[in-house]
């Protein structure tokens, strides 16, 4: 009986799988080392960030001024404080009135459509 062997030219599937595993293991080792370096550097980075924030607060305090002293504060246009106008609430009332009229017209149109459909269906 003669035994047939595969040609030694191509690496076996087991050998390829081992190489893939070794490559993946090396990548994971590198990633682990990188993470360990970042963990070791975290306290230093946190201290640097805190120091920078303290310096910014200190610089703002030295320049004086208050955060509430801003010239570009948002204006509330609902009350018309700009010129002390006498017609403060009239535009809002007008819009509310128009909104009510449109709502009532839509309700009336819906009621008319329902009545028309009911007459067609003979309920």
Give this prediction's pTM. 0.35
Specify the pLDDT at position 63.
80
CB atoms under 10 Å from CB of 80, counted, come to 16
Query: 82 with 75: CB under 8 angstroms?
Result: yes
Specify the pLDDT at position 76.
66
Specify the pLDDT at position 94.
86
Q: Where are the domains of the chain?
A: 13-63, 89-123
| Residue 82 dihedral angles phi and psi, to the nearest 5° | -65, -50
Cα–Cα distance, 123 to 118 (Å, whole number): 6
| Per-position pLDDT tens, the chain of length 123 | 556 665 556 679 899 999 999 999 999 999 999 999 999 999 999 999 999 999 998 888 888 666 565 555 666 666 655 555 555 556 788 889 999 999 999 999 999 999 999 999 876
**DSSP of the chain:** -------TTSPPHHHHHHHHHHHHHHHHHHHHHHHHHHHHHHHHHHHHHHHHHHHHHHHHHHH---TT--TTPPP-TTTTTTTT-S-SSHHHHHHHHHHHHHHHHHHHHHHHHHHHHHHHHT-
């Amino acid at each position: 009986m003669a035994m047939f062997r595969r040609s030694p030219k191509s690496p076996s599937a087991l050998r390829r799988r081992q190489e893939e595993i070794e490559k993946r293991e090396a990548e994971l080792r590198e990633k682990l080392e990188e993470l360990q370096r970042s963990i070791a550097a975290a306290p230093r980075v946190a201290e640097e960030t805190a120091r920078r924030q303290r310096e910014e607060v200190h610089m703002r305090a030295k320049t004086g001024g208050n955060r509430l002293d801003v010239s570009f504060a948002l204006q509330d246009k609902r009350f018309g404080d700009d010129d002390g106008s006498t017609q403060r609430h009239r535009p809002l009332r007008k819009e509310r009135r128009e909104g009510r009229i449109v709502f009532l017209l839509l309700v009336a149109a819906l009621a008319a459509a329902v009545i028309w459909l009911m007459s067609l269906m003979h309920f």
